[in-house]
Structure 1
Amino acid sequence: MFKKILIANRGEIACRVIKTARKMGIATVAVYSDADKDALHVRMADEAVHIGPPPASESYIVIDKILDAVRRTGAEAVHPGYGFLSENSRFAKALEDEGVVFIGPPASAIEAMGDKITSKKLAAEAGVSTVPGYMGLIADADEAVRISEQIGYPVMIKASAGGGGKGMRIAWNAEEVREGFQSSKNEAMSSFGDDRIFIEKFVTQPRHIEIQVMGDRHGNVIHLNERECSIQRRNQKVIEEAPSPFLDPETRAAMGAQAVALAKAVNYCSAGTVEFIVDGARNFYFLEMNTRLQVEHPVTELITGLDLVELMIRVAAGEKLPLTQEDVRIDGWAIESRLYAEDPYRNFLPSIGRLTRYRPPAERRGPDGAVRNDTGVYEGGEISMHYDPMIAKLCSWGPDRAAAIEVMRNALDEFEVEGIGHNLPFCQAVMDHPRFVSGDITTAFIAEEFPDGFHGVTLPDEELRRIAAGAAAMKTVAARREGRISGVLSPHDRRAPRDWVVSIGAREWRAHVSPLARGHIVTEEGEELAIAPKGRDPRNPDVLIHGQGAVKVRFEDGTESTVEGDWTPGDRLARATIDGAPLVAKVDMRAEGFRIRRRGADLDVKVREPRVAELARLMPEKLPPDTSKLLLCPMPGLVVSIAVEEGQEVQEGQPLCTVEAMKMENVLRAERAGVVARINVAPGASLAVDEVIMEFE
């Protein structure tokens, strides 16, 4: 077995490999760019080597720099992770020439299957059903349009060396082909150093289901069942699960057998994934083979009990697979939510900055459920504009799909991230969406269910009422704390406000808060007696004590809620039991109440004394500033191009400029017809959020 391996990657996957190597007693070497000098993977590794400036094209994908790090540290093997050099056959060959083991498939398999064009041809020759498309090199946009019209719209424009949604566009007409062709080429060159593009038919109403394969150097290949990856945005996976809620045993076996046959045809070893598109009748078509470890591999590990990274390392060291196809099992259900640094309220545009707060839920494993969080960041760390926006992969496991969803819901409720925009609210919305819960999903799920983008979730009235009860209870606690700190109240004073008006949007509740027990019993004479946190009154067994922080909230209509919890002012996460049901929410105190975030809803909750609420209704509403004549940069990024000139008349939907962030090009378009009055930036400019790009008359 190896004594030392180098991880030619960064972030979450580098940390993931280090964990398994440490478990196996193998020393690790990290590599890092200027932007990653304080990164978590650098801290975790036994050694770390600096390899250059922040752009991946000048650091992480420069083969000579990785080889130099190998030589300097004496690493015996290299794990490439995913992305970067993981599917680069030249890199695998260069390591072989150095006498260093590549923890992945042989270079010949990467060449055969890692390249999307070549893999399509080989699959067709092997009799595998493939999606119609053009696998040859495409010279320019005009040829791309001709090919697309022959195939028939819609089409998918894809980078040959691509992955992770980079260099991928869907086009529904010739204009979108021309625009998407160039953007795909640019993204492909920036991310992979290879701008080759191919085009295939885009199958409508598809499911994206993939088969995990694992092979050794002795000719043994098995599959580890499937993953459903249909919840995608911009062709990038957001939610994955294993197994698929759609496949039956017969289809699973057929897809697995086909994936294994394809892998054996190219003498494949190590971990790999054969991706299929599946229609409503369970007909499946080969899409591509990823000759590397997939981002979503944890869900396969959770249902099989296997460590895929460990298997990759052992196979690379020449060991045989320790199991056969008959040994592979499906134990329960697993779901993965990808936490991205992107703002769902700004059309999921990238967000960068410092993680002022990063508190993932505690990892655990038990018969009723499990939580796992694979991450490469830490509180206080920076999210850079130079790399993929993934922050973490939150995974849940349950004995069945319903249980796995519920575990995920609760874990997302407890996940605290502040300082940047992130997609946690969107992941929460998906978990509660009836269509996802039913398993009736396709790759068009997000486009169909959120056609106008994500604007938060509208919670049911009963849930809002529970939040109102919790807010009234928290405001009472805060008022008592404030009074004691200011010296207005003594510890025994009961004159703190207990009557409140709680407002959430247009809804309003009048509420009276009275203590049931807050760590003590109050007698009629005002005497306080210490008691146990919860249980029966030791002086009177017939009296049930609700516990520390328990209050009764009586609403104006006569209904009541019992709120139990231990929230204190300053806590950013509130855990409570309201009317016997748990409630977890993110809480930020404000002058007149709280900002409360729960299950995809972001609520401005006003909690005022009745007289203050009465006066507030008389106050005029403050209107936001008018930015209708400005084009603002929606995210930090680099100006790639300006498509218009000053004085030019533009129409609704017309491209105005292109901004690149996190290796993705974003075309900003005119929201309405107008005339460009002034352009404030030039190509190459680095912009901040809401910086003015151009002004209109």
Structure 2
Amino acid sequence: MFKKILIANRGEIACRVIKTARKMGIQTVAIYSDADRNALHVRMADEAVHIGPSPANQSYIVIDKVMDAIRQTGAEAVHPGYGFLSENKLFAEALEKEGVAFIGPPANAIEAMGDKITSKKIAQEANVSTVPGYMGLIADADEAVKISGEIGYPVMIKASAGGGGKGMRIAWNDAEAREGFQSSKNEAANSFGDDRIFIEKFVTQPRHIEIQVLADTHGNCIYLGERECSIQRRNQKVVEEAPSPFLDEATRKAMGEQSCALAQAVGYASAGTVEFIVDGDRNFYFLEMNTRLQVEHPVTELITGVDLVEQMIRVAAGEKLPMTQDDVTLTGWAIENRLYAEDPYRNFLPSIGRLTRYRPPVEVAAGPLEANGKWHGDAPSGPTAVRNDTGVYEGGEISMYYDPMIAKLCTWGPDRPAAIEAMRNALDGFEVEGIGHNLPFVAAVMDHPVFIKGEMTTAFIKEQYPDGFEGVTLGAADLTRLAAAAAAMFRVAEIRRTRISGTLDNHERMVGTDWVVTAQDARFDVTIDADPGGSTVRFADGTAHRVTSRWTPGDSLATVEIDGAPMVLKVDKITSGFRMRFRGADVKVHVRTPRQAELNDLMPEKLPPDTSKMLLCPMPGLVVKIDVEVGDEVQEGQALCTVEAMKMENILRAEKTATVTKINAGAGDSLAVDDVIMEFE
């Protein structure tokens, strides 16, 4: 077995690999750029080597710099994680030439399967059904438009060397095909150093389901069930689960056997993923093969008990797989939510800055697992598990140079409803401050009836949130519970605030029992009957709720029981109340005396400033180009400019017909959130 491995990656996946290596008694080497000098993976590794400036194309994907780090440290093997050099044949060949093991598949398998065009041809030769498309390389935008018309809209424009949603665009007409081709080429060049593009038919209303395969160098290959990855935003997975609520055993078996046959056809060894799109009749079509560890691998680990990183390391060291297909058992259900530094209220645009608060929920294991992936004794029927794979820490910076993912929060339960409920509670207890993030959105998804029924497709976000995510409005029952909790907590805070000390007879001003609670335009007149064990909050309609909690004023997280049912709340103090976040809702809850409420009703409403005649930068980023000039009349939907942030190009468009009167930024300018790019009349 190896004594020292280098992780040619960063962030949460580097931390994830380090954890398994440490468990196996293997020393680790981290590499880092200027931006990652104080990163968590650098702190966790036994050694760390600086490899260059912040942009990935000057550090993490420069093969010579990574090879220098290997030579400096004497690493015997390299784990590439995902992204960066993980599917780069030249990197695998450089390692082989140096006599360093690549913890991944052979270079020929990377070349055959890592390239989407080549992999589709091989899949067709292996009698795997594939999506119709143009398999050759496309020279320019004119050819892209011609090919798209021949295939028939809608089409998917994709980077041949792509992955992680980078370099992908859906086009519904010639104009979008032309525009999408250029954006895909630019993103592909920046992210992968390879701007080759191909086009295939976009299957509407599909489900995205993938099979995890694991193969060794002795001819053995198994599949470890499937993952449902249909909830996606801009072709980037957001929520994954294993198994899929849609597949039956016969389809799972057929997809798994086909995946293994494809892997063995190219001499594959290591962990890999074969992705399919599946229609409503469970017909499945090969999409691509990722010759690396997938971001969403933890859900497979949670239902099988197999540590995929450990098996990758063992396979790279020449060991045989310790299990056969008959040994693979799928136990329970697992769900993963990706926490991104993206603001859901601004159409999920990237957010950067310092994590002023970062408190994930406590990780909890469901139970011991044997090395072959089977549970000791019976599978757990009650406890649930919580796992958080992360690469950040409180006080750390979220950089504009890399992928915006902060963490992967996973839960396991004996069945799907239990896993969902565990995830709801974990999300409620996940504290993140200082940046925009998508926690409210994924919390909303967990309560969405389409997700609960397991009927989602890759069009879920577009269909269920056609106007973007505008937050969650709590239903009457949850709002009443929230009001009861806020009233009881406010009473506790008022008692503390009104205490007077330093006099001869220490005393405290009496705190009343009658209060008016307002939230989400609703008003609740309540009376609080307190006792040493808690409070009974009585509402004007005669209902009452028993509230108990150990919350102390100043705590940012409150676990409250309402009539015995737990409720986890994120709490911030505001004037006369709290900002409370629960189940994706962000609610200002005011608690006032009846007289204060009466006076507050007389206060005028403060209106926000008018920015309707300005184009504001929606996220920190770099201006790539300005598409208009002063004096131009622009039409609704017309491209105004392109801003790049976190390796993604974002085209900003006109919301209505207007005339450009002033342009305040140009190509190459770095902008902050809400900087004025241009003005209109």
Distance in 1 of aligned mates of 2:481 and 2:644: 43
CA distance in 2, matches of 1:220, 1:208: 26
The question of 1:302 aligning with 2:302 is answered yes
Per the alignment, residue 211 of structure 1 pairs with 211
* Counterpart amino acid of residue 428 in structure 1: A
Provide, for residues 257-300 of structure 1, a one-character-per-residue CA deviation record: whole Å limited to 9, x for no partner. Answer: 10000000000000000000100000000000000000000000
1:422 paired with 2:437, answer: yes
1:624 Cα deviation (Å)? 0.3
Q: In the alignment, which residue of structure 2 is the partner of 1:141?
A: 141
Q: Name the CA shift for 1:345/1:491 in 2 (closer, same or farther; >3 Å).
A: farther
Q: Which residue of 1 aligns with 2:597?
A: 613
Which stretch shifts more, 365-374 or 673-682?
365-374
Task: Kindly provide the CA deviation profile for residues 391-419 of structure 1, in whole angstroms up to 9, marking residues without a partner as x.
Answer: 00000000011111111111111100000
Q: In structure 2, what residue type is equivalent to 1:175?
A: A
**Structure 2 residue identity aligned to 1:54:** S
2:483 match: 468
Change (3 A) 1:669 1:365: same
CA–CA separation in structure 2 for the residues paired with 1:15 and 1:337: 18
In structure 2, the residue matched to 1:289 is 289
State whether structure 2 residue 622 is matched by structure 1 residue 650.
no
Partner of residue 468, structure 2:
453
Structure 1 residue identity aligned to 2:404: P
Deviation at 1:510, TM superposition (A): 1.1
Show the 5 A alignment for 1:381-530: 381-484=396-499, 493=508, 495-517=510-532
Matches of 1:146 and 1:139, distance apart in 2: 11
Aligned residue identity for 1:690: D
Report deviation, 1:556.
2.0
Which residue does the alignment assign to 1:274?
Answer: 274
Q: Superposed, which structure 2 residues align to 1:98-113 within 5 Å?
A: 98-113=98-113
CA deviation after TM superposition for structure 1 residue 606, in Å: 1.2
1:567 aligns with 2:551: yes
Match of 1:125 in 2: 125
Distance 1:483 1:19 in 2: 49
2:653 maps to 1:669:
yes
Q: Are 2:35 and 1:35 aligned?
A: yes
Q: Offset of 1:610 from its aligned partner?
A: 1.1
Over residues 584-620 of structure 1, what are the superposed CA-to-partner deviations in whole Å (9 max), with x where a residue is unaligned? Answer: 1111100121111110111111111111110111111
In the TM superposition, what are the counterparts of 1:297-336 in structure 2 within 5 Å? 297-336=297-336
Residue 552 of structure 1 and its aligned partner are, at CA, apart by: 1.3
Aligned equivalents of 2:348 and 2:189: distance in 1?
23
Instruction: Name the amino acid aligned to 1:127.
Output: N
Determine helix, strand or coil for the equivalent of 2:93: helix
Any idea what SS the aligned residue of 1:281 has?
Answer: coil
Is it true that 1:244 corresponds to 2:244 in the alignment?
A: yes
Equivalent residue letter for 1:26: I
Give, in whole Å, the separation in 2 of the partners of 1:243 and 1:257. 16
1:380 correspondence with 2:395: yes
CA distance 1:512–1:486, change in 2 (3 Å)? farther
Alignment match, 1:94 = 94
Shift of 1:69: 0.1
Matched residue type, 1:380? G
Task: Report the AA paired with residue 216 of structure 1.
Answer: D
Structure 2 CA distance for partners of 1:407 and 1:50, relative to 1, 3 Å: same
1:635 counterpart residue number: 619
Overall identity of the aligned pairs, in %: 76
> Does residue 551 of the first structure (1) align with residue 529 of the second (2)?
no
Q: Give the drift of 1:498.
A: 2.7
Are 2:499 and 2:508, in contact at CA under 8 Å, matched by a contact in 1? no
Paired residues of 2:500 and 2:507 also in contact (CA < 8 A): no
Q: Distance in 1 between matches of 2:8 and 2:72?
A: 14
Alignment-derived partner of residue 374 in structure 2: none
- On the 8 A contact 2:498/2:508 being kept in 1, the answer is no
The 3-state SS of whatever aligns with 1:82 is coil
| Equivalent residue, structure 1, for 2:23 | 23
Q: Is the 8 A contact 1:484 1:490 kept in 2?
A: no
* 1:364 counterpart SS class: coil
TM-score (norm 1): 0.94
- State the 1:65 CA deviation: 0.2
**Whole-angstrom CA distance in 2 between matches of 1:489 and 1:330:** 69
SS in 2 for 1:320: coil
Q: Over residues 666-693 of structure 1, what are the superposed CA-to-partner deviations in whole Å (9 max), with x where a residue is unaligned?
A: 0111111111110001100000000010
Cα contact 2:162–2:188 (8 A) shared by 1: yes
SS at match of 2:387: strand
Q: Which moved more, 1:650-659 or 1:557-566?
A: 557-566
Displacement of 1:223 after TM fit?
0.7
Q: Secondary structure at the match of 2:298?
A: helix
Residue 584 (structure 2) aligns with = 600
Could you tell me whether the CA contact under 8 Å between 1:480 and 1:489 is conserved in 2? no
Residue 85 of structure 2 aligns with which residue?
85
Deviations 1:417-453 (A, max 9, x none): 0000000011100100111011111111111001110
Q: Which region of structure 1 is more displaced relative to structure 2, 94-103 or 495-504?
A: 495-504
Once residues 67 and 602 of structure 2 are traced to their aligned partners in structure 1, the CA distance between those partners, rounded to angstroms, is 70
Give the Cα–Cα distance (whole angstroms) in 2 for the partners of residues 637 and 91 of structure 1. 30
What secondary structure sits across from 1:22 in the alignment? helix
- Return the alpha-carbon distance in structure 2 between the equivalents of residues 188 and 182 of structure 1: 10
Equivalent residue of 2:422, what SS? helix
Partner of 1:233: 233
Structure 1 residue 491: Cα displacement = 6.8
Q: Which amino acid aligns with 1:562?
A: R
Deviation of 1:349 after TM superposition, in Å, equals 0.3
Distance in 1 separating the partners of 2:608 and 2:401 = 33
1:652 positional shift: 1.0
The one-letter amino acid paired with 2:146 is: R
Q: Tell me the amino acid that sits aligned with residue 299 of structure 2.
A: V
Aligned residue identity for 2:616: L
Map of 1:522 onto structure 2: none
Q: 1:486 to 1:161 in 2, by over 3 A?
A: farther
Q: What secondary structure, in the 3-state scheme, does the structure 1 residue paired with 2:674 have?
A: coil
For the residues of structure 1 that align with 2:616 and 2:629, how far apart are their CA atoms?
17
Q: Give the secondary structure class of the aligned counterpart of 1:658.
A: strand
Q: Aligned-pair distance for 1:580?
A: 1.8
Q: Do the aligned residues in 2 keep the contact of 1:479 with 1:497 (CA within 8 Å)? A: no
Distance 2:542 2:332 in 1: 45
User: CA offsets per residue over residues 102-121 of structure 1, 9 Å max, x none?
Assistant: 00000000000000010011
Distance in 2, Cα, partners of 1:245 & 1:347? 28
CA distance in 2, matches of 1:508, 1:479: 20
Amino acid at match of 1:476: R
Moved more, 44-53 or 219-228: 219-228
What is the identity, as a one-letter code, of the residue corresponding to 2:204? T
Aligned residues, how many? 666
Q: Distance in 2 between matches of 1:589 and 1:513?
A: 20
Q: State TM-score, norm by structure 2.
A: 0.97
Question: RMSD in angstroms over aligned alpha carbons?
Answer: 1.1
Partner amino acid, structure 1, of 2:460 = F
CA distance in 2, matches of 1:108, 1:515: 72
AA aligned opposite 1:419: G
Say whether the 8 Å CA contact 1:483–1:489 is kept in structure 2: no
CA–CA separation in structure 1 for the residues paired with 2:677 and 2:638: 15
* Alignment correspondent of 2:361: 361
Post-superposition offset of 1:497: 3.0
* Aligned position for 2:371: none
Tell me the equivalent position of 2:373.
none
